[in-house]
Structure 1
Amino acid sequence: MKEQQINTDINDSSIDLPILRAYHPLRKLKQKDFQNLYNDVPLQYFIKGRYLNSLIPTDTYFLFFHSIDDLRKYYNHYKEDKMNQTINSLNVNLTPISTHDFVEEFRFSYPQFLPDLQDLPLSIATINKRLSIVENQDLSQSLSRLLKNRQNAMYRYKHNGKKKLLGIAMKLKEDQSPNIKITQGTTPIDRSCCVVFKNVPANIAIRKIEDFFWDLSWFPDQERRIRPIFTSKNSNLTSYILVFADQKSASVCVNRGNNQHLFYNPVLPIVESELL
């Protein structure tokens, strides 16, 4: 199935979004890994697919371009030579993604409790721009239901930042606007400044995590900088998203915390940490 997708004609009129879907067996690739395939065409942004609750990476990535023309140039370069089709000596499969498929996979792109991601309104605007050209009521309803489900999840969220995040989720559902960050008046968070921080005992106070990384630059809004995403009923371990003010701090957090005992305490679990 994937091989058939790879042979898609890039000039086909069915190519309706400036997005490529990438498959690669390594689950911790970064935007620069894909950018290095062809530096002449800049990527607008990049999303690593993740399962909804566990935040475990899938083998899928989404590459966003400024235009479909840019996508064509990048994709044609990729197809020209097998040398352009590997990352870390392993094959990468790139395919254009349809509006329908991207809406279907939206849940893997945007975890719950992160309605304030900077690229979320941009992705919604990309979909709606296409739907304004080719009306598709089913897809419009699917997108609306997804945003509604995210909004409903916020009602159940137990977190100090719930009120702000719920307000953003509601506004996003109402407007589906790329300018939501302006109308909402809440600074969005940058995906590249977010860290997935897993295997934390559920009874550990959030402030202890913040205190441990006291020397890093945290996101200014204290209520939105540490968010519990999922707690396993079997292990009672929680996965968090930590939000920093800059990419450097996020990277230091990953390097300092990954595969180490929490707080360097040997009686506590070994933490997994990686960039969102």
Structure 2
Amino acid sequence: PAAGTVFAATGRRRGRVALLQGCAQQVLAPRINQAAINVLTRHGVEVVLVRDEQCCGALTHHMGQDGDALARARANITVWQREADQNGLDAILVTTSGCGTVVKDYGYLLREDKAFAEPAQRISALAKDITEYLGTLELAPSTQKGDVTVAYHSACSLQHGQKITQLPKELLSKNGFVVKDVPESHLCCGSAGTYNILQPDIASRLRDRKVANIALVKPDMIAAGNIGCMVQIAGGTSVPVVHTIELLDWATGGPRPGLN
């Protein structure tokens, strides 16, 4: 979907949100944001992809290139603030937890910038992981019969960065999936932004340990809330790795994920 596109809510409109378009995810798995748009519009939420949005700055921030990261943050705050003022936004939703952690930190990162400190705080307050927002909606009755076992991988940026641990699992189990915790779930899978590229040996050892732990719960599918983790884990297993939102889309009337 192109930037600037608005996806109308089905039925009575209950909310209006912006969806972060992302960078790596747009290329690697555009199906993730498509699933998010499907779930949101199906439940009465209008979705906008804001024009002139940039990379959130997470990757350059990880690498210590703060000037670049903060320039991107300011650019995003400017276009999101304009959208909120002109058309209204209940939230800025993020389907990649590595990005969400940084957008939620804009207020802190720009706290000493006179022009941007206050707008940055406002944008960070609007930023939510997709599961946080879905947790406030009454979802359509699930079509799942409880015969799909899902190993839930808790991305570091979600569980440690944003302190979101139970909610994704609750959403999945409420919607008919058998959700299994992964042993040593606090450990990183080795993706960690650019870490898997800069430190491939250690990253591969972490991945192998994560995949071995996942195998212990014998899942039909593996779910995670971050594209980096998904790609990293998929490199070590033949079990389909899908985004939490793809499973929630399937449960509420969308296509079965993990077949492509």
Give yes or no for TM over 0.5.
no
Q: Which one has a larger percent helix, Structure 1 or Structure 2?
A: 2
Larger Rg: 1
Q: Which one has a larger percent strand, Structure 1 or Structure 2?
A: 1
Quick one: higher RCO (CA 8 Å, sep 6+), 1 or 2? 2
Q: Give the TM-score taking structure 2 as reference length.
A: 0.31
Q: Give the TM-score taking structure 1 as reference length.
A: 0.30
